[in-house]
Amino acid sequence: GRHSPVEVDALGVRDIEALATLIGDKPYLFGDAPCGADATVFAFVASVLSPMSESAVRSAALANANLVAYRDRMMQAYFPENAAA
């Protein structure tokens, strides 16, 4: 591929950090209410946080409490039957 596995991890971690900064302390990507972009961000974040595989990207996401809270908030809003109790 174009990038080595180490480079892929570094790029993914950089993306996670940028996303965590962008969301900050807001409940959703652009403020107090979810928008269409949140659907894409949620899919990405939920996938990365999945316990199916360990990776540097997952570790970076877990280290950002706001991303975990974002995933949990979206799960509760749109998939309450699958949200953690």
For the stretch 45-66, pLDDT in tens is: 999 999 998 999 999 999 999 9
Question: pLDDT tens digits, residue range 1-58?
Answer: 899 999 999 999 999 999 999 999 999 999 999 999 999 999 999 999 999 989 999 9
Q: Is 54 exposed, middle or buried (0-12, 13-18, 19+ CB in 10 A)?
A: exposed
What's the rounded Cα separation, in Å, for the pair 73 and 66? 10
| pTM for this model (two decimals) | 0.91
* Per-residue pLDDT at 85 exceeds 70: no
Domain positions in the chain are 5-78
* Phi and psi torsions of 28, nearest 5°: -135, 170
